[in-house]
Amino acid sequence: MIHQGQCPKCGKRVLHVHVESVLGMIANESKARCLSYSCIHCFAVLGVQIDPRGKRRAKTADKAVAKDDKPAK
Ligand SMILES: [Zn+2]
């Protein structure tokens, strides 16, 4: 496999990236866990995405599921 991706800042091939956990800000509040990918040579940020491993908030839908677990009389 030939790696052809180049860092847009330093021009080196992107064979590795630094992965950092960062917080996404929504209306000046940190609300989302995100992942930042940066060049290992010059630290230019190549991309940021929502962390798919981020914890979900407890939803009221969970209670609705528990209700169904009660034995029917
Ligand atoms: Zn770079």
Q: How do residues 28-59 score in pLDDT, each as one tens digit?
A: 988 899 999 999 999 999 999 999 887 765 55
Distance (Å, whole) CA 7 – CA 41: 9
Q: Which residues surround ligand 1, an ion (CB under 5 A)?
A: 7, 9-10, 39, 41-42, 44
Q: Is the pLDDT of residue 67 over 60?
A: no
How far is the centre of ligand 1, averaged over its atoms, from the C-alpha of 43 (Å)?
Answer: 6
Continuous segment of H or E residues that includes residue 65: helix 61-68
Sign of the alpha-carbon torsion through 54, 58, 60, 64: positive
What pLDDT does residue 35 have? Answer: 96
How far is the centre of ligand 1, averaged over its atoms, from the C-alpha of 39 (Å)?
Answer: 5
Regarding pTM above 0.85, the answer is no
Q: Which two tokens stand for residue 27?
A: 């209306």
- Spatial contact of 14 and 46, defined as CB atoms under 8 Å apart: yes
